[in-house]
Copies of this chain bind each other. A is one copy, B any other.
């Protein structure tokens, strides 16, 4: 790794000093004379000496790196979150190790344990759709690993959390459809065990209830893997379309589900919004150039990443154990585009 890199010993030998003197000189200790410091520092610079971080980590017991566990990097929302995390981590001298679960519980467990073994100083995680059991995290949390949840959180572990206002997101999207004249509103979402689905569903229900509407149960569809495979979505969509009382609008959650639904509707030559209106969660920058331009709920991914990292730093850097935890809720934004244009009354 460090390829014949120069060590503190080399410097000591070369300059006829002891290792400790060199070390202290490099760290600008008050114990060392200015003259010696200058000598050492200049020699070090000339030979571009770099302290071995591994040795440093071993010495003072932290690695200056944090782990990130997310479903997948390919999702624009999550890559924006990562950008946010990175921007803060970078400024604080922290390294970031990213791992993906691809929505698999097993992979999540593996990644988490892998990271823990890599001696990370803290963990930032958004749960996979499959995750129901939190033991793998609880154990580490008990052992003292600082953890911050973002987006897909759990209340089984008490720590800082950052989420978007999922209830309001679901409520706003549904209300927007209602206001545009749609009443038979279906909902395609991720499994009910993950926090975001639950909250968005609650918002959806609330909006319907306020409008005095009740939709059949078959209107609510969960994709077990959050739409990881297109077939998941194809199946639920087929079900929806073969209902006696076909929905006139669909509200989808998550980038994957949203764009795949759009794709499938197009493929089936179903006109949007004339046959079926569509609004969905997405953070893609393409929403405007889709066919048709897609109404969407946008989540502040970058900010979420920043906040999560700040909270994690707060725990890591705290001298005494943190016992008061906070759940930060970030606002979402609704963009109305033509995929939910007002219903044409026939």
Contact = CB atoms under 8 A, between A and B. Distances in A.
A271 B107 CA distance: 46
Assign chain A's interface to a size class: 35 or more
Nearest to A120: B1
A90 to B, nearest CB: 9
Interface stretch (A54-62, A196-204, A215-223): A54-62
Interface string A243-283: 00000000000000001001100100000000000000000
17 contacts: A1-B61, A1-B120, A2-B119, A4-B143, A52-B58, A53-B117, A54-B58, A65-B118, A74-B80, A95-B97, A259-B286, A262-B289, A263-B286, A266-B288, A289-B290, A291-B291, A291-B293
Interface string A304-336: 000000000000000000000000000000000
A53 B118 contact: yes
Contacts of A240: none
Contact of A83 (B100, B263, B289): B100
Interface of A: 1-5, 50-55, 57-58, 61-63, 65, 73-74, 76, 79-80, 82-83, 86, 95-100, 114, 116-121, 140, 143-145, 259, 262-263, 266, 284-286, 288-293
A271 to B, nearest CB: 14
Given A55-B58, A263-B288, A82 B73 contact: yes
A98 B100 contact: no
3 closest A-B pairs by beta carbon, nearest first, are A3-B144, A291-B291, A1-B119
A294 to B, nearest CB: 9
A144 to B, nearest CB: 3
Contacts of A50: 116-117
Nearest to A82: B73
B73 A95 contact: no
Contacts of A82: 73
Contact of A285 (B5, B140, B259): B259
Given A100-B83, A118-B53, A289-B266, A143 B62 contact: no
A2 B293 contact: no
Contacts of A289: 259, 262-263, 266, 290-291
A254 to B, nearest CB: 14
Given A58-B58, A95-B118, 18 more contacts: A1-B119, A50-B117, A51-B117, A53-B118, A53-B119, A65-B97, A74-B83, A79-B79, A86-B99, A86-B100, A96-B97, A96-B98, A259-B285, A259-B286, A263-B288, A284-B286, A286-B290, A290-B291
